Homo-oligomer: A and B are copies of this chain.
Amino acid sequence: MGTTQLEAVQEPKYWHLKTVLNDALDSEFEVGEILPNERDLAARFGVARATLRQALEQLELEGRLQRRRGVGTTVAPPRMGVAVGPSSDVWPGAGRDAWRTIGCVEAVAPGSVAALLGTGPDETVHTIRRERVMQGQPVATELLYVPPVSVPGLSAMLSPAAHAPAVLRELHLLELEGEDRAVELGSARAEDAKQLDRLPGAPVLVVTTRYFAQGRVAAAAVATYRADTCRLTFGHSGAIEVTHHQPDSDRQAS
């Protein structure tokens, strides 16, 4: 665990326990292994259960442990590197896209999204729900918002199944001038949590993408990534591909 000089900082009790637990995970447990129950763990380390719980929560935040209803607490596999920034600007759903479309509705966008798109408070936008699966697990869910002005050629009469493909097809006719992203911490909304196999309120990484065309924001996407299993990667073109190792695991031999 590093050797940077630590200043004399007052550490809460659970923090020390966390470090001890972390070492025990390294030396005694395999990925996927179920930890002993809280009572036994608290007894082993000579701490109160409240202290133990705080330490377990920390380790869950850091991606070392997974807690699942009905299973218990297991040692988490290394987080998956999930590429977020494409090497070249592409529209959602174009080319090799990691997302699967689930459906599309016309709805008023949330206030924050309406502000990005410049749409009015009662104006509906095409809202495409998509999901991203990696290694057989859902890692992200996304709502892609496309105002009608960005897809003027869209047929007015569309079956539900044809809606999303038609919106994406029209969107791809625009010349994409650029995109940018913001990443922040959030908590999973009920429908996202369900799709991601998490409880509502679980910590998530929220990625908001603005797609620019015709000198304005032509579409916006709000993607919700599982914070426990995902590491978001932003690669620059030209960067050499090197395996990214999990913090504090498999130290490389010189």
A interface list, Cβ under 8 A from B: 1-7, 9, 11-12, 14-15, 18, 54, 58, 61-63, 79, 81, 85, 89, 105, 107-112, 114-116, 118-121, 123, 127, 129, 143, 177-187, 190-191, 193-194, 199-201, 203, 205, 208, 210, 212, 215-217, 227-228, 230-240, 242, 244-254
Contact = CB atoms under 8 A, between A and B. Distances in A.
A238 B9 contact: no
A123 B251 CA distance: 12
Nearest to A193: B9
Contacts of A177: 238-240
Given A11-B200, A111-B249, A239-B210, A6 B180 contact: no
Number of copies: 2
A93 B235 CA distance: 21
Nearest to A232: B183
Contacts of A12: 199-201
A210 B239 CA distance: 9
A112 B200 CA distance: 31
A252 B143 CA distance: 20
Given A85-B234, A245-B115, A252-B114, A187 B58 contact: yes
Contacts of A228: 185
Contacts of A15: 190, 200-201
B254 A120 contact: yes
A119 B62 contact: no
Q: Which of A63, A185, A216 has the most CB of B within 10 A?
A: A185
Contacts of A18: 201
Contact of A227 (B185, B232, B239, B246): B185
Contact of A182 (B81, B121, B215, B249): B81
A238 B178 CA distance: 6
A236 B187 contact: no
A51 to B, nearest CB: 12
Nearest to A112: B247
A4 B179 contact: no
A210 B242 contact: yes
Given A4-B127, A119-B254, A185-B205, 6 more contacts: A1-B111, A62-B187, A185-B203, A212-B239, A212-B240, A217-B242
